[in-house]
Amino acid sequence: MKRQKKNPEITPNSIIVHALRLLWLHSRERRAALKRDGYRCVDCGVKQSKAKGKEQKVEVDHIRGIKAWNELADIIRRHLLVPPDELETVCPEDHRKRTELRKQIAGGDNGAVLRLESLALFDSDGTESVGAPSSGNGDRGGMADLSEG
């Protein structure tokens, strides 16, 4: 099997934009607009058709346009596709507890970093803003009690 050459047009940004476009293509908002307009062009009235020999596509246009594809991709890179040192593997229960604790302590998604092993809350610049000493033995004992309430 031949190995395909890498496409120089494919960049991390283009992959994100492609994923966003797929999200849009399969969105309920897009489907609702198509249904509302009867699958017809609002300018000329042509109707979408899949009939053989009479194929006609229609598209859904953003009235205000989409000027921010790169900004959206940048937000995704900054907040979702972060470096591995900003990620930790946790079980679903602890993930839920961390999320709830973040909401209670940090006021939600404000860029604060929460590390449960030491109960330290860090600002987005890495400085500790709230914390309690760790037990030092890697034990998370008591963590569940703090997130319940």
Question: Do 73 and 18 fall within a single domain?
Answer: yes
State pLDDT tens for residues 1-51: 666 666 767 888 888 888 988 999 999 999 999 999 999 999 999 999 999
Domain count for the chain, please give it.
2
Same domain, 64 and 37: yes
**27 in a structural domain:** yes
Give the domain-ending residue among 40, 55, 77.
77
Question: Which of 51, 77, 103 marks a domain boundary?
Answer: 77
Judged on CB neighbours under 10 Å (0-12, 13-18, 19+), 30 is: middle
Provide the whole-model pTM.
0.54
Is there a domain that residue 125 lies in?
yes
Q: Which domain holds residue 114?
A: 84-147
The tokens describing 57, both together, are 């596509």
Q: pLDDT category, 138, cuts 50, 70, 90?
A: very low
